[in-house]
Amino acid sequence: MKLANLLKGIRLPRPPAAAPPVDLPAPEKVYLPLRQHRGAVAEAKVEPGEKVALGQVVGASEAFESATVQATVSGVVEAIVDTVDPAGQKVPAVVIKNDGADAWAEDSTLGESLTDPAGVKGTRPSHLLRRLREAGLVRAQVEGRPLHVDLSPPMAPQSYLYMTGIPVVRPVDTLIISAVDADPPVCPNRSCLGQSIEELSVGVAALARISGAKRVILALPSGSDTASIAAMAGQYEWEVASVSQTAYPFATDNFLVQSLTGREVSTPYGEPKDVGVALQPMISAMDVGKVLMSGRPVIDRIFSVAGEVKNPQTFRVRLGTPISEVLAAAGGGPSRPGKIIVGGPMMGLAIFDPTTPVTRETEGVFVQSAAKVVAYADHPCIHCGRCVAACPVNLIPSELGKLCEFRMYEEAADMDLMNCIECGCCAYVCPARRPMVHFLRHGKTEVLAGRME
C-alpha cells in the first residue's frame, strides 16, 4: 500500500470474520424487475397465467445495454406489476408464484459446458461474450452495467479523453479481480473467499480471454485466509496482491487500479477500461464461471446482510426475493427500523420500501435501527481542514460545501467539484457534522442541469 493511502481517507473499524454463504430456500413469490442495471428496460416475454420453468427467459431486449431476465423459480406468472429498484425508480417486474418443483426449462442451456481454464482458452472470445450476454450477467453495484457491456471495447472514442494524451482506445492488457469489499461491513466477496475455486478459475480465465488481458491480478483482502486462492493463482500464473480492508476508500475501482498498476483513471467520466485495465469483483467472476461450467443462467445472487440484524450473514438468494424476507431469515431487523441501505454504510443507498427485490445489481444490505440513524447538523463550516486531510482525491471539500450551500455551483465546478467521487470521507470526519456529500451531490446535479440548458 502506498504511503499516501495511510495519510488520506479514513480508517474503518476492522469488519468481523465472514462466514461462507448460506443457501436461502426459494421464496413463495419472486419479483423479477425487467431492468436490473443501468440501461434499457427489457420487454416482458411472458403473459400472466403462463407456466414458466427455471431459467426460462421472461424478459429480453434488443438494446445493447440491457440484460436478459430469466425465471428464478418454476411456477405460474401471476402478474406484471410496478416495483421499485434500489435507486428508488419505478420499474415493471414479472411476479412468479413458486410451485416448488424447481424444474429447469429444456431450452435453458447456453451451449456446452467448459469445465477448465484450458477449455476456455480454446474458445473464441466472442463466443464467451455471447454466452455471458445470454445469461444476462450484471456488474454487482447499484446502476451497474451488464457484464457484456463492461467487457466490450468502447463503441466510439471517448470525448473526455481527447485532450489528455491518453491513447483514445487503449487495448486492455490487465485484468484485476477484486475480492476486497469496498464498503467492508457488507462483504459478499470476502465471505466467498475460498469457495468454489473451480468456478472462479474458469470465470477468471474467461474474463481474461474476453478482455484480452495478458496480466491477471487477484486483489485479496489482507488478514484473510487466502491460501486456496493463492494456490490456484500460482497454478495459472496469476499475480496475487494484498489490499487493506480498513483503509477506505482505497478498495474502490479507481484506487485499486492506481495502486496495483500505477495508472490513473480520469474522473468523473473515465473508467478503468480507458487505461487498459478490466476490473471485476470476485463474485462476478464466480458467476461467469458458473454460467460457463453449468451452461445455465445464474438464478441466485450472493447477498450479504450486515448491521443491526440478529445474525449478520451472507446468503445465496434467488433473484427477485424481497429484501424483507432475507432480513427475516437473518433473524429480523431491529424493533424500530431506521434505515435499510443497499450497499455499504459509506456509499450505499437508503431504500424506502423493504419489499424491494434482490436484483443483479444488489450485493447486500446494511441495516440500522432508528436510534443509530445519524443526524446531520445545520452548523457552519468551522474551517478545521479535517476534510481536506481526508479527501482521497485532494479536493478542498470545505470550500466546495460552502459554495454549493450558497448556490454558487459554477464557482464550485471551477474548483473541481465534478472530480468528487462521493466516497463520504469528508462527511465522516466533519466535526460540525455537515451533510457534505449531500451538498456536493446537489451541486453536481445543478451544474449538469445548468449545462444542459
Partner 1 sequence: MNENLLTVSTSPHILGRMSVRSMYLEYIIALAPALLVGFYYFGFPALITVLLTVASAAVSDFVASKIQKKPTTLGSLHILCMGLMLGMILPPGAPWWLPVIGGALTVFLGISIFGGIGAYPMNPVLVAWVALAISWPEAMNSFLEPQALGSGEEWNEAETLLMQLKGDVSTLEMVEMGVLWLGKVPGYIGSTSTWALLAGGVYLIIRRIIPWQIPIGALLGAIVMALIATYTDPRILELGYEEFAANMNVVWFHLGAGGLMIAAFFLGPEPVSSPVTPWGTFLFGVGIGLMTIIVRTWGGLVDGAFYGVLLMNAANPLLDRIRPRVIGKVVSGA
User: Interface with partner 1 by CB under 8 A: which residues?
Assistant: 10, 88, 160-161, 163-165, 254, 258, 264-268, 270, 336-341, 345-354, 366, 368, 370, 373-374, 376, 379-386, 388-389, 392-396, 398-399, 416, 419, 421-422, 424, 427-433, 435, 437-438, 441
Minimum separation from the CB atom of position 226 to partner 1 (A): 27
Torsion angle of alpha carbons 42, 52, 203, 329, nearest 10°?
100
Q: Whose Cβ is closer to partner 1: residue 117's or residue 392's?
A: 392
Vertex 306 angle, CA 302 and 312, to 5°: 85
Cell of 439: 451538498
Shortest reach from residue 107's CB to partner 1, in Å: 41
Distance in Å, CB of 47 to partner 1, minimum = 31
Of 25 and 88, CB closest to partner 1: 88
Closer to partner 1 by Cβ: residue 33 or 424? 424
Q: How far apart are CA 358 and CA 80, in angstroms?
A: 17
Strands 239-243 and 313-318, by their bridges, are unpaired
Of 387, 306, 393, nearest in space to 344 by CA: 306
Tell me whether residue 220 or residue 327 sits nearer to partner 1 (CB atom).
327
Q: Burial of 198 by CB count in 10 Å (0-12 exposed, 13-18 middle, 19+ buried)? A: middle
How far separated are the first and last CA of the chain, in Å rounded?
44
Residue 230 CB, shortest distance to partner 1, in Å, is 30
Q: Which is nearer to partner 1, 236 or 406 (CB)?
A: 406
Quick one: angle between helices 197-211 and 227-236, nearest 10?
Answer: 40
Please tell me whether the peptide bond between 249 and the residue prior to it is cis, using omega within 30 degrees of 0: yes
Q: Which residues have a Cβ under 8 Å from the Cβ of 152 and sit 6 or more positions away?
A: 129
Query: Whose Cβ is closer to partner 1: residue 103's or residue 382's?
Result: 382
Q: Which residue, 226 or 368, is less far from partner 1 as judged by CB? A: 368
138 φ/ψ angles, rounded to the nearest 5 degrees: -135, 140
- Residue 279 Cβ vs partner 1, minimum distance, rounded to whole Å: 15
Closest approach of partner 1 to the CB of residue 276, in Å: 16
State the minimum distance, in angstroms, from the CB of residue 72 to partner 1: 25
CA–CA gap between residue 44 and residue 34 (Å, rounded):
7
Of 98, 55, 107, give the one whose Cα is nearest residue 78.
Answer: 98
Residue closer to partner 1 (CB basis): 134 or 325: 325
Q: How far is the CB of 337 from partner 1 (least distance, A)?
A: 5
